[in-house]
């Protein structure tokens, strides 16, 4: 390897490690269009259940593309449905 090629190889962008795919699971809380939903059916197009902030019951069922979802944070889950501690939620990936 010549001097020039060794400098170029050191300055060239490094390969990024592979991105780990999100582990989607039915029953998890997700955000779509700024609203929290429960992920009910998983696929390219997912079935989401909207929950009443007062009663905790399903009030609407919608479909959304998987690539438009993100996992909700603990604070984004409706208070009526937060049946675990903030620490336990962090262990499940719900962050702060």
**pLDDT for position 5:** 63
CA distance 24 to 36: 15
CB atoms within 10 A of CB 77: 19
Q: Which CATH architecture has domain 22-91?
A: Roll (2.30)
**pLDDT for position 12:** 58
**pLDDT for position 16:** 47
**Boundaries of every domain in the chain:** 22-91
The whole model's pTM is what? 0.71
Q: From 63, 22, 69, 24, select the one nearest 46 (Cα to Cα).
A: 63
27-86 pLDDT tens trace? 999 999 999 999 999 988 999 999 998 998 999 999 999 999 999 999 999 989 888 888
39's enclosing H/E stretch is: strand 35-41
């Amino acid at each position: 390897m010549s001097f020039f090629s060794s400098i170029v190889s050191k300055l060239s962008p490094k390969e990024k490690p592979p991105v780990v795919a999100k582990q989607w699971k039915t029953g998890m809380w997700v955000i779509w269009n700024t609203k929290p939903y429960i992920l009910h059916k998983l696929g390219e197009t997912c079935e989401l259940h909207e929950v009443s902030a007062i009663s905790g019951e399903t009030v609407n069922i919608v479909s959304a593309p998987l690539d438009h979802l993100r996992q909700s944070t603990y604070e984004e889950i409706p208070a009526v449905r937060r049946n675990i501690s903030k620490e336990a939620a962090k262990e499940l990936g719900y962050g702060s």
